[in-house]
Structure 1
Amino acid sequence: MNTSTDRMITRIKSIYLYIKQKGTVTTTELVDEFGITQRTVQRDLNVLEYNHLVHSPTRGKWSITSKKVKAS
């Protein structure tokens, strides 16, 4: 894989693990924590949501789903 793809995968994994640790987070909290733009956070959350790993119970707040994941 190329470097930008590796960075994206690492960032998405980090976002998932952060949400898992915190329980529920806001999009703004993710922007502040990871130092990336709101648009980038939204794209990463879309990937996680598409794979049924996170959901948004209310607008702008995110939690993980009950889907089993092996994170290495």
Structure 2
Amino acid sequence: MKPTTDRMLNRIKDVYMFILDKGTVSTQDLVEEFSITPRTVQRDLNVLAFNDLVMSPSRGRWTTTSKKVRMSS
């Protein structure tokens, strides 16, 4: 796997774990926590939402779904 792809997948996993830990977060919380642009956060959230791992109960707020996830290290 390309280093950039590996880095992206690790970041998406970290974003998911952050949301799981905090419960509900804003897009801005993610921008600040990971020091990435709002557009990058949105792309990562789109990947997670497409895989039914997160949802947005209200605009700009994100929480995890009840879908079970098996994490690898």
Using the size of structure 1 for normalisation, the TM-score is: 0.99
Aligned partner letter, 2:22: K
Deviations 1:28-71 (A, max 9, x none): 00000000000000000000000000000000000000000011
> How many residue pairs align between the two structures?
72
Runs of 4+ in structure 1 off by over 6 angstroms are none
Aligned partner letter, 1:23: G
Q: What's the CA shift for 1:11?
A: 0.1
The RMSD of aligned alpha carbons is: 0.4
Secondary structure of 1:71's aligned partner: coil
Among all aligned residue pairs of Structure 1 and Structure 2, give the percentage whose two residues are the same amino acid: 62
Q: Distance in 2 between matches of 1:56 and 1:64?
A: 9
Paired position in structure 1 for 2:58 = 58
- Structure 1 residue runs of 5 or longer lacking an equivalent are none
* Structure 2 residue 40 is matched with structure 1 residue 45: no
Paired position in structure 1 for 2:30 = 30
Using the size of structure 2 for normalisation, the TM-score is: 0.98
Paired position in structure 2 for 1:15 = 15
